[in-house]
């Protein structure tokens, strides 16, 4: 009981400190460790770990709402994950479909509603998952400028490849030559063809489960992002872990190469 009281007191003080400091405009989170969480807990299937992780996503969005952080991006499923066993993928798709529907309902009740969008190669997803994503996007389209972006079927290299491909195709339609496209190529032009070009680059990227890499998450957009790595598996990620990440961000000096 005493330990719990001390913990609550510490968390309350940390929340006050964070609220007074510099907050990120855009937070990206790599939701990693669901399968290892399932193994640790002795759960029957890896999909059970994903279900716990999906429930924790609601908590994270609520914490960001409380602090009025405008943009949140959650990496739920990578293109590499699509090589997992079919039975696990079927369960993940069902969880994604349920979760995006719940997110739409959550935004309808929220005092800080967000537009929910998905980024990634949707054509690789089942038609039912694509339809669920489209429904939530339509239902929350009027909630901008606050954003909740779900990266599903997403890979950073794939996003850059798709952006360059779309840019070249667009320029060719306009009558430009390949030589002209190559000679005038600029990073800002490629940026305009990313999956969500209107979204600001992430200020802070958090990865759970103790892995010290990004694995391609927002590869183009994260050039000047601050990183925070947490040992907790994603389903065990707590509000206090999130507040520690925000405190770490506020204590850093962002130079952006200057």
Residue 133 resides in a domain: yes
pLDDT of residue 4 exceeding 90, the answer is: no
H-helix or E-strand spanning residue 119: strand 115-119
Cα–Cα distance between 65 and 241 in angstroms, integer?
16
Question: Helix or strand or coil: residue 206?
Answer: strand
Burial class (CB in 10 A: 0-12, 13-18, 19+), 249: buried
CATH number for position 152: 3.40.1180.10
Number of domains in the chain: 1
Cα–Cα distance between 165 and 190 in angstroms, integer?
10
pLDDT of residue 73 exceeding 70, the answer is: yes
Residue 215 resides in a domain: yes
Residue 33 resides in a domain: yes
Tens of pLDDT, residue by residue over 189-211, are 999 999 999 999 999 999 999 99
| Domain ranges, residue 156 | 2-160+199-250
Of these residues, 32, 48, 65, 203, which one is catalytic?
Answer: 32
Tens of pLDDT, residue by residue over 108-118, are 999 999 999 99
Lowest mean pLDDT among 24-28, 59-63, 132-136, 185-189: 185-189
Question: Helix or strand or coil: residue 68?
Answer: coil
pLDDT of residue 234 exceeding 70, the answer is: yes
Residue 211 resides in a domain: yes
pTM listed for this prediction: 0.95
Any idea what the Cα angle at residue 200 is, between residues 197 and 203, rounded to 5°? 140
- CA dihedral sign of residues 19, 23, 28, 30: negative
Residue 174 resides in a domain: no
Region class of 218: left (phi > 0), else alpha (psi between -120 and 50), else beta = left
Residue 85 resides in a domain: yes
Residue 178 resides in a domain: no
If one compares 253 and 64, the residue with the highest pLDDT of the two is: 64
Q: Among this protein's residues, is 203 annotated catalytic? A: no
Task: Kindly report the average pLDDT of the chain as a whole number.
Answer: 95
Of these residues, 56, 65, 80, 81, which one is catalytic?
Answer: 81
Name the nearest CA neighbour of 114 among 141, 82, 78, 151.
141
pLDDT of residue 257 exceeding 70, the answer is: no
Residue 256 resides in a domain: no
Q: Among this protein's residues, is 81 annotated catalytic? A: yes
């Amino acid at each position: 009981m005493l330990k719990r009281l001390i913990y609550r007191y510490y968390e309350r003080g940390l929340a006050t400190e964070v609220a007074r400091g510099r907050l990120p405009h855009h937070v990206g989170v790599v939701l990693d460790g669901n399968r290892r969480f399932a193994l640790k807990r002795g759960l029957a299937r890896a999909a059970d770990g994903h279900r716990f992780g999906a429930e924790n996503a609601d908590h994270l969005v609520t914490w960001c709402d409380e602090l009025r952080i405008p943009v949140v991006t959650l990496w739920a499923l990578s293109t590499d994950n699509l090589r997992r066993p079919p039975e696990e993928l079927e369960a993940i798709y069902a969880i994604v479909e349920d979760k995006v529907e719940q997110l739409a309902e959550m935004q309808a009740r929220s005092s800080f509603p967000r537009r929910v969008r998905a980024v990634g190669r949707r054509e690789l997803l089942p038609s039912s998952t694509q339809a669920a994503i489209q429904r939530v996007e339509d239902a929350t389209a009027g909630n901008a400028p606050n954003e909740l972006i779900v990266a599903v079927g997403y890979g950073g290299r794939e996003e850059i490849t798709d952006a360059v491909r779309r840019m070249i195709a667009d320029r060719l339609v306009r009558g430009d030559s390949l030589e002209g496209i190559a000679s005038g190529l600029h990073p800002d032009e490629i940026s305009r063809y990313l999956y969500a070009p209107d979204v600001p680059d992430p200020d802070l990227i958090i990865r759970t489960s103790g892995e010290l890499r990004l694995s391609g998450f927002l590869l183009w957009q994260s050039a000047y992002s601050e990183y925070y790595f947490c040992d907790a598996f994603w389903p065990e990620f707590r509000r206090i872990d999130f507040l520690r990440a925000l405190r770490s961000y506020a204590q850093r000096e962002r130079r952006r190469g200057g």
